């Protein structure tokens, strides 16, 4: 069955539905994230208006949109070059164009030009499920011992740790808040592109950042004590030159930054969530 482009046929979706009385309809939506999030309002309208019809998204398998769909949103992942429509009574290609820029949303334009409805759709955005955090605060710098206890002089190891966080599909951010006692030796490494330097240094900012995180990695400092007060202990990894049992209490994962074994941080992060942490989440290559 051919996929219908309503803009090319000059016939609206509602006309096809009224004429053919379909039970299953495929909606091929192959556009970017922002467009898809707006189109979900159109999808919701169709499901509500035609409750006897099963509407299904055909989504590009490379986009990953299925990870945040709600339970009632049906989908199949497809290769955009070859979409199988055999199991559907109708199939539509959603062009999702905008020819009224500034006047109405793309979703409303889709309603008029493709669906064939003038029902208002002023707020097309639908709820999203709460997603697990992907953020990993990292603290590389020690105020009172930059080279003795921090990563000053150990930049190569620091970069390996940073890269392994990204390789596993997570998002690192360096959490060295600058304050009046900041040690001038703790210059940021040039390759760190996500940090809090210049942000107001206070406990609320640090706590809120760590509370919304997947895990924490850092040297012994106020940051790691904050992490141990916010996260399960198994999700806090100490970077140290000695076993931190007396400094941090018992049962704290740790690695020796003077004898770093490649892959240590990667393997530790994966051990926290083997089901969901996959390195195919990222196109990053070491």
Is 135-281 a CATH 3.40.50.2000 domain?
A: yes
- C-alpha 22/C-alpha 115 separation (Å) is 15
**pLDDT for the residue 176:** 84
Q: How far apart (Å, rounded) are the C-alpha atoms in residues 150 and 49? A: 61
Which overall architecture, per CATH, does domain 6-115 show? 3-Layer(aba) Sandwich (3.40)
Is 73 in contact with 40 (CB distance < 8 Å)?
yes
How much is the average pLDDT of 227-244? 87
Higher-pLDDT residue of 187 and 94 is 94
Equal CATH topology for 6-115 and 135-281: yes
Q: Report pLDDT digits (tens) over 131-146.
A: 889 999 999 887 666 5
What residue segments make up the domains of the chain, in order of their start?
A: 6-115, 135-281
Note the pLDDT tens digit of each residue in 13-71.
999 999 999 999 999 999 999 999 999 999 999 999 999 999 999 999 999 999 899 99
**What is the rounded CA–CA span in Å between residue 148 and residue 219?**
11
- Does 150 have pLDDT greater than 90? no
Task: Give me the helices (H) in the chain, please.
Answer: 6-9, 13-20, 33-49, 106-110, 155-167, 203-211, 222-230, 245-248, 264-272
pLDDT higher than 70, residue 208: yes
CA dihedral sign, ordered 194, 175, 229, 163: positive
Contacts of 269 (CB under 8 A, 6+ apart): 136, 164, 165, 168, 170, 215, 277
């Amino acid at each position: 069955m051919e996929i219908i482009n309503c803009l090319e046929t000059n016939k609206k979706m509602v006309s096809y539905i009224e004429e053919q009385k379909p039970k299953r309809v495929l909606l091929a939506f192959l556009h970017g994230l922002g467009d898809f999030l707006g189109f979900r309002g159109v999808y919701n309208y169709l499901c509500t208006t035609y409750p006897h019809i099963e509407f299904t998204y055909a989504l590009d398998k490379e986009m990953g949109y299925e990870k945040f769909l709600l339970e009632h949103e049906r989908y199949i992942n497809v290769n955009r070059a070859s979409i199988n429509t055999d199991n559907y009574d109708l199939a539509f290609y959603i062009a999702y164009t905008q020819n009224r820029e500034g006047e109405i949303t793309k979703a409303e334009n889709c309603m008029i030009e493709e669906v064939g409805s003038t029902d208002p759709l002023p707020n097309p955005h639908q709820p999203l499920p709460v997603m697990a955090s992907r953020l990993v605060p990292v603290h590389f710098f020690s105020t009172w011992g930059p080279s003795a206890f921090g990563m000053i002089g150990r930049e190569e190891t620091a970069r390996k740790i940073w890269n392994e966080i990204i390789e596993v599909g997570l998002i690192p951010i360096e959490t060295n808040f600058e304050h009046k006692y900041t040690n001038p030796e703790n210059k940021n490494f040039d390759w760190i592109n996500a940090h809090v330097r210049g942000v107001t240094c206070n406990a609320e900012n640090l706590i809120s950042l760590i509370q919304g995180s997947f895990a924490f990695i850092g040297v012994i400092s106020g940051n790691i004590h904050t992490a141990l007060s916010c996260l399960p202990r198994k999700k806090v990894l100490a970077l140290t030159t000695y076993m931190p049992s007396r400094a941090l209490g018992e049962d704290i994962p740790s690695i020796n930054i003077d004898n770093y074994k490649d892959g240590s941080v990667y393997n530790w992060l994966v051990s926290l969530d083997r089901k969901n942490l996959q390195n195919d989440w990222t196109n990053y290559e070491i």
